[in-house]
Amino acid sequence: MSMTFSGQVALVTGAAAGIGRATALAFAAEGLKVAVADFDAAGGEATVEQIRAGGGEATFIRCDVTKEAEVKALMERVIAAYGRLDYAFNNAGIEIEKGKLTEGSEAEFDAIMGVNVKGVWLCMKHQIPLLLAQGGGAIVNTASVAGLGAAPKMSIYAASKHAVIGLTKSAAIEYAKKKIRVNAVCPAVIDTDMFRRAYQADPKKAEFAAAMHPVGRVGKVEEIAAAVLYLCCDGASFTTGQALAVDGGSTAI
């Protein structure tokens, strides 16, 4: 079965790089119009250029997902640009911790929770009324395998991603009868700037990261994009409230 999309417009946050950029490109390749949101304007514009170079349609909208006024304005600009919103991929996230739980700072806690949890909540808060008004849609939030189990030396990050799954499941049930599906994607280690910052400086860490996955390698951004598109497509019409691990088998061990 090929993926079909009844909707026409997708919004991706954190789309200036990594998983978000790859997913924005994948939506565009399926013929959807894409709102590319990020607080990194240069990276966001570069994503739009790549989409347009491939013959697709996209608009960059600058937004810091931790600020409610900016998130509200983002949704207004999506509607101004494209008249509707069918799919939202709430993906902007950060990982800045490097130590054990007792070594974390209050500033780190607030920063990680601000982007990863409050950002996802604010996005859904301002997307759901648009989807309700149109009679449905699909939302995918980026959690992590760190949202499904322990993540030593990344406890704040793990807590933030468990919270994303809690938000996802609760929203899925609240809006299940309104034709709004809400799922989360849970990547293991994926080759992005975030991964390179955390692992690649030290070759031993990079080797360890590959070995954590039964398939023997870290994941590719396109492999997460494919899962997100599946969760949005018409074929996933009976799938809601799920936290889908895309992890090279790592959570199956």
Q: List, by residue number, the catalytic residues.
A: 157
Determine whether 109 is exposed, middle or buried from the number of CB atoms within 10 Å of its CB (0-12, 13-18, 19+): middle
Q: Is 243 in the site for ligand NAD (CB under 6 A)?
A: no
Q: Among residues 32, 115, 117, 138, which is the contact residue for ligand NAD, using CB under 6 A?
A: 115
Strand 243-246 and strand 9-13: pairing?
unpaired
Point out which span in 13-21, 72-80, 129-137, 173-181 binds ligand NAD (CB under 6 A). 13-21
Q: Among residues 28, 34, 35, 93, which is the contact residue for ligand NAD, using CB under 6 A?
A: 93
Place of tokens 């990982």: 95
Point out which span in 48-56, 148-156, 167-175, 183-191 binds ligand NAD (CB under 6 A). 183-191
Distance CA 100, CA 205 (A): 17
| Residues in CB range of 209: below 8 A, 6 or more apart | 189, 195, 199, 218
- Ramachandran quadrant class, 83 (left: phi over 0; alpha: psi -120 to 50; beta: rest): left
Q: Is 228 in the site for ligand NAD (CB under 6 A)?
A: no
Compute φ and ψ for 14, nearest 5 degrees. Answer: 65, 35
From residue 252, alpha-carbon distances to 15, 41, 44, 225, 243 in Å are: 29, 38, 35, 21, 14
Distance CA 213, CA 13 (A): 27
Q: Is 18 in the site for ligand NAD (CB under 6 A)?
A: yes
Q: Is 189 in the site for ligand NAD (CB under 6 A)?
A: yes
Q: Distance between alpha carbon 104 and the CA centroid of its chain, in Å?
A: 24
Q: Among residues 12, 17, 58, 163, which is the contact residue for ligand NAD, using CB under 6 A?
A: 17
Q: Among residues 9, 10, 12, 19, which is the contact residue for ligand NAD, using CB under 6 A?
A: 19
Point out which span in 98-106, 123-131, 168-176, 184-192 binds ligand NAD (CB under 6 A). 184-192
Distance CA 198, CA 88 (A): 27
Site string for ligand NAD, 23-42 (x = CB under 6 A): ---------------xxx--
Q: Among residues 124, 130, 190, 236, which is the contact residue for ligand NAD, using CB under 6 A?
A: 190
Q: Is 155 in the site for ligand NAD (CB under 6 A)?
A: no
Which chain residues interact with ligand NAD by CB under 6 A? 13-14, 16-20, 38-40, 43, 63-66, 91-95, 115, 119, 142, 144, 187, 189-190, 192-195
